[in-house]
Structures are given as C-alpha cells and as structure tokens.
Amino acid sequence: MSKLNFEEIQGDILLGGLPKRAQTFLFFTIDPKRIQEFRTQLKKFVPQITTLAKVKDDRDAIEKSKAAAKNSTAPILSITGVNISFTKKGLTQLQLGLGTDDIVDVDFNTGMFSGAKDLGDPIEPGSQFTPKWDKNWIPGAIVKDATGKDVIVKDIHGLIMVTGDNPNRVENRLNEIKDHFSSASSVHQLEGNIRPGDQKGHEHFGFLDGVSQPAVEGVDDNVNPGQQKVPPGVILLDDTTQRPKWAVNGSFLAFRHLSQLVPEFNSFLEANAIPGLPPKDGAELLGARLMGRWKSGAPIAVTPYVDDPAMGADPKRNDDFDFEKTSQIRCPFAAHIRKTNPRSDIGLEVTKSNRIIRSGIPYGPEVSGKEALNGLTEKGIDRGLLFVSYQSNLGKGFAFIQRGRLSIRN
Ligand code: HEM
C-alpha cells in the first residue's frame, strides 16, 4: 500500500486525535440560496483544517514539553484544532459536481434519524415530536420557531469541531469560523470538557476512557502489547472499494449525544453491590463487571477481584489481555468492552473490520454534593459523553456495534 498522506487526513481521526481539553461541536445548515458562496468560503477555509500532519507535530511538541518538565507539571501548550464533516444532506446541498456525491454507505445515506429504531434507540408514543420519539432522544437540533414553539431541524448539513487547551481559546476560534461561514447558520452547539484533576481522561461514571483503540498500520509506530493492528482501510476510505476518488482518506464520523445519569448509576451499584464484600467494594466490583475494567482502566479479565491502578495507567499492560472463551467468571459476556469488542470470543481476524477509533469527550458539570447525597441528577442538569467514532463503513463500525451485532454474531 502506498504511504498515507498525512496532509490529506483530518487530524481527529488518527494518532490520538486533536489534542483537546475543551471541544465545541457546531452543527450547521447551509443557506440554500447561498450555496455558491458557501463553496467559496469552504475552499478558503481548507488551510485552517487541522491535518493529521499538524496533529503529529502538536503531539510531538506535547511529549517534548512533558519530557522537559521532568518531575514538575509541564506547561499546557496553546493548541487549537478544527475539523469539518458533512452529512449526506450536506453533500447533496453542496452539489459537489465531482462526478458523484454518493459515497456508498447505506447508513450514511439514510441518516441516523431514519435508522434510529434499528440502532435500538427508544420510541415512545406520545412524545411531542413526530414521529413519536422518546422524550430523551434528540431527533435533530431543537430550536424555537417564530411563535416560540420547539421544532426539530433535521436538515443538518455538517459539523464543525473546534478543540483547544481551554474553553476561551475554543470560543474565540469558533467565533472566527462563524464569521467566516456567513452562508451557513448554526443550528445546534454542544460543549465538551475533559474532567478535572485526577479524573482527566475518565468519563463521567469514573472509568478511564480511550484505552483500547486499534493501531492503524503505517500510522501508529508504537503498538502496545495487546493492541490490535488494523489496515488503514478499516478507518479510512481507500480506493479498494467503490468509493468516489474525492472521498479517499476521509472517514465516516458517527456522533452521539449520550446523557449519563451518574448519581443514579452510583445508587444502582450501591443497591446491587456484589455480596460477600464490604458494600463499597461490592459496588465497585459490580461497576467493574458492567464495564469490563476497573475505574483505573485495569481489565478485569486480568485482575478480576481487585483493582490494579498501576496496570490501569500503563499502556504497555492495560490492553494486553483476551477473554476466556465461553467463560464469564472473570469478565461477563455483557460487560461493555466485551460486547463492543469480543476479541477472541469471535476471533480477532473476524472482528478486525468492526474496529472503530473513538474520539469523544465528556460534557456537563461534575456531580454536586447534593446530587451525590440524593442519588439523583438535579433537574436541568445534563452530563455525559459527546461520543465520536471514526470508521470507513458505518454498517461495520459504529452501527454494527451499536446494534449489538458483535455479541450475537455466532
Ligand atoms: C455513555 C456511553 C459510554 C460510555 C460511558 C463508555 C465508556 C467506555 C469505557 C470506560 C471504555 C473502556 C476503556 C477503553 O477501552 O477505552 C469503553 C470502551 C469501548 N467502548 Fe464505550 N462507552 C460508551 C458508549 C459507547 C458506544 C455507543 C459505543 C459504540 C457503539 C462504544 C464502543 C466502545 C468500544 C469499541 C470500546 C473498546 C472495547 C475494547 O476494545 O476493549 N462505547 N467505553
């Protein structure tokens, strides 16, 4: 395979993605009367898009700064990043004139809204929207119409993601971008932030996230023990399939706004703590068995009864495991990481094409003392995960995993 051109690949897809402490997701629509103008603005915007080559340099600079700081805290470098993606509706609206805008992916072409039922998203007759979706499911951007009524904007044409080392820098960069794209309007905006202190890198339930990612051949030089190698074509569109030429080196981005009821989750663990242990430890073990890892990141397939924080924090050890086929003594079949990547349960070769790169970020405030005490998320508070995954085929990657196809394949 020819060498990948890092200047052609957007930076969030590989090598750990855009460095981010804060990230804003801006969903936009293109004004149908100003398409030509949008195209011109997009062309001028291209040099601002953070490429994989830039991410490589940024990540090298971060590593150097950490090494130079030795035992003291390394300064946080001022780095921002910008990536852009389009929906099927956006591509159609753009009328690229590149021969075809059909990028040949069923899930992409039909869109997440029409595929929601198949993805297992809840439908609850009686909700205020048509079709009748569960009130907790956001079927598009919800905006107020002229009369102040909530309406759903389903015609989202694209997503601009801005990342940075702090929210102010992200906001400033985003404002410049909004000014630049005068032919588009923002319909929905979401802000994510990494969690504070020792929870950095952990999602809101408290588990270390972003541990198990596939290593992409020709991109990731340092492959950790246990890390599965996949050809670039699993994540990037390549020219071996019927994809149009202009799409090569792109990737499909799946986005999900996933709310997490953290105090309720913790109460559930306490109420159902595994017996025979002090209640706190029983709750901790139940959480670990639901996830397949301890909060530290240590896999229960290796250390099933006690946490090993040193292992959790060590990339050379925290992904170096497999599941015991047909046994769930160490790790339940239903553990999140076993359902989303069953490893040898199904066969590493078989599941290779189902691997995804995850690049999401938590959002929302930390749990307050009052919420922790009541075991209830306060009204009006929303926290969770702004989930992002990259794959070359949605039906094999995100959608396949979300539909639970991996766990029922045999
Ligand atoms: C709020 C929802 C979610 C939370 C809190 C969450 C959290 C986690 C955590 C803590 C891990 C283990 C650490 C790691 O390997 O990175 C993990 C792994 C993973 N998650 Fe999620 N996740 C969520 C939703 C999803 C969704 C929707 C998908 C895909 C449809 C997904 C796919 C995966 C995959 C593929 C892995 C890696 C499994 C492995 O290779 O061992 N997750 N997740």
For strands 158-164 and 184-193, give the pairing.
unpaired
* 152, part of any domain: yes
pLDDT at residue 128 greater than cutoff 60: no
Assess whether 293 and 190 both reside in one domain: no
**pLDDT tens, position by position, 246-260:** 889 999 999 999 999
Assess whether 364 and 313 both reside in one domain: yes
Is residue 237 a contact partner of residue 394, using CB atoms and an 8 Å limit? Answer: no
* 290, part of any domain: yes
**pLDDT tens, position by position, 265-280:** 999 999 999 999 999 9
Give the separation between CA 332 and CA 326, rounded to whole angstroms.
10
Mean pLDDT, the chain, integer: 91
Assess whether 207 and 83 both reside in one domain: yes
pLDDT at residue 409 greater than cutoff 60: no
Determine if ligand 1 sits within 6 Å of the CB of residue 209. Answer: yes
Ranked by mean pLDDT, the top range of 30-34, 70-74, 282-286 is: 282-286
Reported confidence tier of residue 125, pLDDT bands at 50, 70, 90: low
> How far apart are the CA of 179 and the centre of ligand 1, in A?
36
What integer pLDDT is reported at residue 127 of this predicted model?
A: 54
SS3 state of residue 364 = coil
Assess whether 251 and 269 both reside in one domain: no
> How far apart are the CA of 337 and the centre of ligand 1, in A?
6
User: 385 phi and psi, to 5 degrees?
Assistant: -125, 125
The number of folded domains in the chain is 2
Q: Which domain holds residue 337?
A: 260-396
Ranking 144-158, 238-252, 360-374 by mean pLDDT, the lowest is 144-158
Assess whether 302 and 202 both reside in one domain: no
**pLDDT tens, position by position, 209-226:** 999 999 999 999 899 999
Exposed, middle or buried by CB within 10 Å (0-12, 13-18, 19+), for 69? exposed
What integer pLDDT is reported at residue 410 of this predicted model?
A: 41
Assess whether 320 and 346 both reside in one domain: yes
Is residue 343 a contact partner of residue 322, using CB atoms and an 8 Å limit? Answer: yes
Ligand 1, atom 27: closest residue by C-alpha: 402
Determine if ligand 1 sits within 6 Å of the CB of residue 359. Answer: no
* 7, part of any domain: no
Beta bridge partners of 10: 51
User: 357 phi and psi, to 5 degrees?
Assistant: -100, 125
Ranking 185-189, 236-240, 358-362 by mean pLDDT, the lowest is 236-240
SS3 state of residue 336 = helix
**pLDDT tens, position by position, 68-121:** 988 788 889 999 999 999 999 999 888 876 666 678 789 999 888 777 778 888
Short-list 141, 297, 287, CA closest to 211: 297
Reported confidence tier of residue 360, pLDDT bands at 50, 70, 90: very high
What integer pLDDT is reported at residue 365 of this predicted model?
A: 98
State which of 208, 233, 258 marks the end of a domain.
Answer: 258
* 9, part of any domain: no
Mutation to probe ligand 1, out of 257, 344, 358 (largest number of atoms < 8 A from CB): 358
- Cis omega (within 30 of 0) for bond into 275: no
* 221, part of any domain: yes
* 134, part of any domain: yes
SS3 state of residue 286 = helix
State which of 233, 258, 283 marks the end of a domain.
Answer: 258
pLDDT at residue 150 greater than cutoff 90: no
What integer is the mean pLDDT of 133-153?
A: 72
Ligand 1, atom 22: closest residue by C-alpha: 336
What integer pLDDT is reported at residue 47 of this predicted model?
A: 97
pLDDT at residue 197 greater than cutoff 90: yes
Percent of the chain residues past pLDDT 90, beyond the cut: 74
Assess whether 282 and 348 both reside in one domain: yes
Assess whether 247 and 303 both reside in one domain: no
* 11, part of any domain: no
Ranking 103-107, 123-127, 303-307, 352-356 by mean pLDDT, the lowest is 123-127
Q: How are strands ordered across the β-sheet holding 80-86?
A: 80-86, 158-164, 22-30, 184-193
The first and second tokens of residue 27, run together, are 């969903």
What integer is the mean pLDDT of 39-49?
A: 97
Give the active site residues.
209
> How far apart are the CA of 188 and the centre of ligand 1, in A?
25
Reported confidence tier of residue 379, pLDDT bands at 50, 70, 90: very high
pLDDT at residue 9 greater than cutoff 70: yes
Q: How wide is the angle at C-alpha 306 spanned by C-alphas 194 and 338, nearest 5°?
A: 65
Is residue 359 a contact partner of residue 12, using CB atoms and an 8 Å limit? Answer: yes
What integer is the mean pLDDT of 285-294?
A: 98
pLDDT at residue 129 greater than cutoff 60: no
Assess whether 182 and 265 both reside in one domain: no
**pLDDT tens, position by position, 12-23:** 999 999 999 999
What integer pLDDT is reported at residue 84 of this predicted model?
A: 98
Evaluate the CA torsion angle 119, 121, 126, 129 in order and state its sign: negative
Assess whether 199 and 283 both reside in one domain: no
Assess whether 246 and 270 both reside in one domain: no
Assess whether 334 and 194 both reside in one domain: no
* 236, part of any domain: no
Reported confidence tier of residue 147, pLDDT bands at 50, 70, 90: confident
What integer pLDDT is reported at residue 134 of this predicted model?
A: 62
